[in-house]
């Protein structure tokens, strides 16, 4: 029996992507903002549907291809919300740069479909296809401004390295298939439990799978694409790449490593320790040397993903919840930081150097305070929500007995605080170079302010949010 209820949100989003593609053909000239409005309406409708279809029990449907549980529902709603905010932030930006075309919205929506497929995958096939759908949409989105040479170069680099990592992932999955005889994640898990502890084939499969996943999440030593793509892509697309896809990549770790390969947790814990340590080290130290704001935020993203792995590698349910919480908080922090870059940019001018932030306090005290909140949250300064996220993952590592790694994480976050605070110094204590007023749409200003205040005001409810994350991962082994 075919149950399509759990995939209704995906179907809505894809159907509307097709509608937008056709509507563009006939009504492009008549209604200017139609595509944008339709896209936002789609995302809202899809998140309402996903919420309405929520089910506390996990259900596997469509011949074992899709799982619907609290994790998939929460992640899907987060993806819809993040994408809606990304599009709202980038509306003026893409109008000014001539990318306000229906293809932009269609590709953004198909990317969302890919992410939704990834977070609700119960089978290697649906997981891989969702990943490819997302990646293909991302490559095209990055290259969409095709007269821009950095954007084309970024897309090309991402495409070549992405294809390589997909190859690694597929090879690993084929090894796992050879070792377990199944592509269904739950069956792989049961078959692995019956295997001897250090089965060579399964372990080799794990190595390849983990390399592929690490590339998608952007952790050292598979991070080479992150700075180039963040810097080269138009800021609106960087915003898109940096927020929701990180959540989806994180979900892949939960679905593949935790749900499927829990039998090999001893092996992947060791590998994740290495990845987490290197990411935090390289991300935080190299970020200090950057003069380009987008590149600096890219290295900061690498470091933050190291912290996310810190929660995962505890191989405990509470650690997964902390990692999920960190990933979600990070996505909203990064939205805010890139939102400020978009706010400062205008037609023909990209505010992507650190210098461009100089004296923001004198130009607009309110947004300087907002940026201060984002930077404090990223650095993990109390009482922002970022502090609780960092605290939670470090606590998870300590409770799992990784004391050395926890100490390293604290040290690297202190090193990282330097470049976040440097931005605060530039904004508050330096004279402005560019004294022009900030002209951006009202939606960007309101949402950005809301985003900034949320960094501070959600702190009292951090416990509730962690409890929600905990309920999402309760079903995991």
Q: Which residues bind another protein (CB under 8 A)?
A: 2, 7, 14, 21, 62-63, 65-66, 101, 103, 106-107, 110, 113, 117, 123, 125-126, 129-130, 132-133, 136-137, 139-140, 143-144, 146, 175, 178-182, 191, 200-201, 203-204
Quick one: tokens of 170?
């597929």
Rounded CA-CA distance 363/219 in Å is 36
Give me the least distance between CB of 322 and another protein, in Å please: 31
Residues 176 and 191: their CA atoms lie apart, in Å, by: 10
**Looking at beta carbons only, is 19 or 288 nearer to another protein?**
19
Shortest spacing between CB 457 and another protein, in angstroms? 39
Residue 432, SS3?
coil
Least CB distance from residue 106 to another protein, whole Å?
6
Phi, psi of 209 (to 5 degrees): -60, -45
Residues 143 and 40: beta-carbon distance below 8 Å: no
DSSP 73-140: HHHHHHHHHHHHHHHHHHHHHHHHTT--SHHHHHHHHHHHHHHHHHHTB-BHHHHHHHHHHHHHHHHH
Q: How far is the CB of 4 from another protein (least distance, A)?
A: 9
Beta strands in 322-460 (DSSP E): none
Tokens at residue 8, please? 């209704």
In angstroms, the Cα distances linking 35 to 18, 24, 26, 27, 316 are 11, 7, 12, 9, 44
Q: Residue 240 half-sphere exposure, CB side, CA atoms within 13 Å?
A: 30
| Token representation of residue 374 | 């984002």
| Cβ closest to another protein, residue 207 vs residue 438 | 207
Q: Using alpha carbons, list the distances in angstroms from residue 81 to 185, 357, 386, 447.
A: 28, 28, 19, 12
Between 132 and 322, name the residue whose CB sits nearer to another protein: 132
**Angstrom distance (rounded) from CA 427 to CA 423:** 6
**Residue 120 C-beta: closest distance to another protein, Å:** 10
Q: How far is the CB of 177 from another protein (least distance, A)?
A: 9
41 contacts 97 by C-beta, under 8 angstroms:
no
What whole-number distance in Å separates Cα of residue 255 and Cα of residue 204? 18
| Widest CA span in the chain | 67
Contact 407, 322 (CB under 8 A): no
| H helix runs in 181-316, sequence order | 185-194, 200-217, 225-232, 235-242, 244-252, 265-288, 293-312
Query: 């600096």: which residue's tokens?
Result: 296
| Integer Cα distance of 155 and 412 in angstroms | 31
Residue with smaller CB distance to another protein, 233 or 323? 233
Q: Least separation, in Å, of the C-beta of 241 and another protein?
A: 15
Q: Which is nearer to another protein, 202 or 342 (CB)?
A: 202
Which residue, 14 or 320, is less far from another protein as judged by CB? 14
Which CB atom, from 143 or from 423, has the smaller least distance to another protein? 143
CB of 30 to another protein, least distance (A): 19
Distance CA 185, CA 255 (A): 8
Nearer to another protein, 65 or 335 (CB): 65
User: Could you tell me the smallest distance in angstroms from the CB atom of residue 161 to another protein?
Assistant: 16
Report, in Å, the least distance between residue 25 CB and another protein: 12
Residue 21 or 415 having the CB closest to another protein: 21
Nearer to another protein, 32 or 63 (CB): 63
CB of 111 to another protein, least distance (A): 9
**Pick 18 or 41: Cβ nearer another protein:** 18
129, β-bridge pairs: none
């Amino acid at each position: 029996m075919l149950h399509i209820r759990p995939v209704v949100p995906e179907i809505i989003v894809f159907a509307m992507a097709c509608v937008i593609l056709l509507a563009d053909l006939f009504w492009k000239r008549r209604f200017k903002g139609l595509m944008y409005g339709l896209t936002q309406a789609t995302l809202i409708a899809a998140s309402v549907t996903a919420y309405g279809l929520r089910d506390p029990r996990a259900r596997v449907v469509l011949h074992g291809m899709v799982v619907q549980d609290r994790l998939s529902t929460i992640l899907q709603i987060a993806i819809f919300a993040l994408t809606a905010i990304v599009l709202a932030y980038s509306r003026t930006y893409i109008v000014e740069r001539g990318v306000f075309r229906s293809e932009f919205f269609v590709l953004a929506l198909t990317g969302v479909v890919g992410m939704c497929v990834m977070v609700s995958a119960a089978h290697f096939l649906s997981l891989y296809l969702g990943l490819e759908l997302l990646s293909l949409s991302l490559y095209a989105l990055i290259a969409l401004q095709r007269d821009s040479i950095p954007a084309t170069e970024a897309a090309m680099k991402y495409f070549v390295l992405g294809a390589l990592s997909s190859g690694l992932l597929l090879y690993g999955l084929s090894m796992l298939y050879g070792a377990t005889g199944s592509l269904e994640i739950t069956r792989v898990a049961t078959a692995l439990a019956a295997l001897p502890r250090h089965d060579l084939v399964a372990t080799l499969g794990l190595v390849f799978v983990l390399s592929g996943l690490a590339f998608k999440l952007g952790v050292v030593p598979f991070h080479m694409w992150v700075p180039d793509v963040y810097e080269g892509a138009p800021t609106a697309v960087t915003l898109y790449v940096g927020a929701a896809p990180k959540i989806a990549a994180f979900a892949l770790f939960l679905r593949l490593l935790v749900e499927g390969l829990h039998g090999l947790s001893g092996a992947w814990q060791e590998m994740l320790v290495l990845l987490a340590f290197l990411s935090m080290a390289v991300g935080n130290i190299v970020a200090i040397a950057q003069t380009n704001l987008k590149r600096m935020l890219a290295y900061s993203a690498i470091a933050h993903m190291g912290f996310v792995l810190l929660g995962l590698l505890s191989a405990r349910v509470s650690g997964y919840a902390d990692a999920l919480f960190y990933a979600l908080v990070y996505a909203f922090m990064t939205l805010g930081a890139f939102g400020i870059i978009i706010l400062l940019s205008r037609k023909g001018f990209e505010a992507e150097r650190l210098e461009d932030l100089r004296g923001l306090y004198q130009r607009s005290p309110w947004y300087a305070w907002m940026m201060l909140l984002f930077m404090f949250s990223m650095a993990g300064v109390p009482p922002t929500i970022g502090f609780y996220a960092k605290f939670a993952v470090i606590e998870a590592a300590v409770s799992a007995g990784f004391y050395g790694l926890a100490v390293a994480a604290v040290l690297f976050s202190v090193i990282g605080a330097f470049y976040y605070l440097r931005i605060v110094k530039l904004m508050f204590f330096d004279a402005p170079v560019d004294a022009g007023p900030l002209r951006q749409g009202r939606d960007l200003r309101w949402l950005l302010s809301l985003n900034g205040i949320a960094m501070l005001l959600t702190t009292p409810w951090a416990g509730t949010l962690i409890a929600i994350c905990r309920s999402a991962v309760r079903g995991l082994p």
